[in-house]
Structure 1
Amino acid sequence: MPGAGVLPSPAEALPGRPQGLRVTATHAVTGNPTVPPFPAEMQMAIFGLTGHAEVVRVVFDPRKISYEELLKLFWENHDPTQGMRQQEDLGTQYRSVIYTLGPHQQAAALRSRALYQQELRERRQGDITTAIEPAGDFYYAEDRHQQYLHKVPGTSCGLKGTGVTCPVTP
């Protein structure tokens, strides 16, 4: 089995459930659907934050917010230079990643990472370790983990940005 900073191969990974979990179908705050089918005008983005099992699928209306604006929020609201760690914790579950859905998202994510990396280097903040990969199948966590910050007021995900503004523009 690989060490804490190395992803296991498919053969080394634990098997998953044979079928997906059922989760609440409506977002508690926005009222938008959280499971397919999504309205035709909606698009999807998937981000993995530097925190245990914090992979988030965002269904958004591109007439109100662009994918590039979501990327800007992603870069500015967590520290993408942390590698596979969150404070004292170390392991693959703490890596950050952008899962892309098609060539437009892939190109936009790579472009945004390059622009943000330039800003971070100018301020001696370190190198981005966030991976950018094509999305595979998406599996929901248990319903008790969905919309956690809304369900458990006063809690915090503990994510902190670098304080550096991302120059991405839509």
Structure 2
Amino acid sequence: MFLVEMFQRKTTMPTPQEALAGRPEPIETAPHHFVSGWPLKPPFPEGMDCACFAMGRFSAAEKLFWPLEGVHVTAAGYAGGLTPNPTYQEVLSSLTGHAQAVLVVFDPARLAYRDLLARFFERHDPTQSMRQGNDIGTVFRSAIFTTNPEQLDQANAARAIYQQALVGAGHSGRIVTEVAPLAAFYHAEANHQQHAARNPGDQSALKGTGVAFPVAS
């Protein structure tokens, strides 16, 4: 019974009454991107746009985006929850409501948001509810947090497009990806920033469905 209760707590979003209190001030993080050297926080260069994705462990997800041509900087953090300025351990408790997420700052003149959405859908399994592989909990859920109305429309459209692609490929799963406006992004602690670059021997990885995102006609 204890294990069942623990599983239910990890896979159920907390209510405002259950959520941890958090803190008014941001937790300490790295000032610069470990790979590019650019600042992790605004102000960013003029013309940059921001995208935010949750797709399992941010240590595995972040490295999928920073090498892309047109990406200015990436950051690991927490999004979609209730607790202000949470810590890593608080997020893992499933009592903040946050997902591990990646902020992608990119130049839309060089990299289309649709291309970021394609990478998101292809590189993890959006049909797994409140988990990715053996990583179980709300913190590992699939989500797209949008930063403007155009992104919201594109993300919803991309979810429908990829669902059709899955059906066409004979995949029985239904996409459970959450799509919602980004209320706040909280940077994770310094040791979580660009973790894959700091720890090149780490085998942490994400597994997609094997179905390609359709090319735009």
Q: TM-score, normalized by length of structure 1?
A: 0.91
Partner of 1:150: 197
CA distance in 2, matches of 1:130, 1:13: 22
SS at match of 1:34: coil
Q: Is the 8 A contact 1:26 1:33 kept in 2?
A: yes
Q: Determine whether 1:71 maps to 2:113.
A: no
Q: Please give the alpha-carbon distance, in whole angstroms, between the structure 2 residues aligned to 1:9 and 1:140.
A: 23
**Alpha-carbon deviations, 1:47-73, whole Å to 9, x = none?**
111237531000011122111111011
Task: Give the corresponding residue for 1:17.
Answer: 23
Q: Name 2:11's counterpart in structure 1.
A: 5
| Unpaired runs of at least 5, structure 1 | none
* Amino acid across the alignment from 1:144: N
The match for 2:55 among 33, 36, 49 is 49
- Quote how far apart the aligned CAs of 1:121 are: 1.4
CA RMSD of aligned residues (A): 1.9
Is contact 2:162–2:213 with CA below 8 Å preserved after alignment? yes
1:29-53 deviation digits (Å, cap 9, x = unpaired): 2333310111111110011112375
Q: Match for 1:84 among 114, 126, 130?
A: 130
Per-residue CA deviations over 1:64-97 (Å, capped at 9, x if unaligned) read 2111111011111111111112323432112110
Structure 2: 5+ residue stretches without partners: 58-91, 93-98
SS in structure 1 opposite 2:10?
Answer: coil
In the superposition, the TM-score normalised over structure 2's length comes to 0.72
Q: Percent identity?
A: 45
Q: Report the Cα distance in structure 1 between the residues aligned to 2:205 and 2:56, rounded to whole angstroms.
A: 10
Aligned to 2:79: none
Q: Secondary structure at the match of 1:139?
A: strand
Q: Which structure shows the bigger proportion of residues in strand conformation?
A: 2
Alpha carbons of structure 1 residues 155 and 131: separation in structure 2 relative to 1, 3 Å = same
**Residue 135 of structure 1 aligns to which amino acid in structure 2?**
L
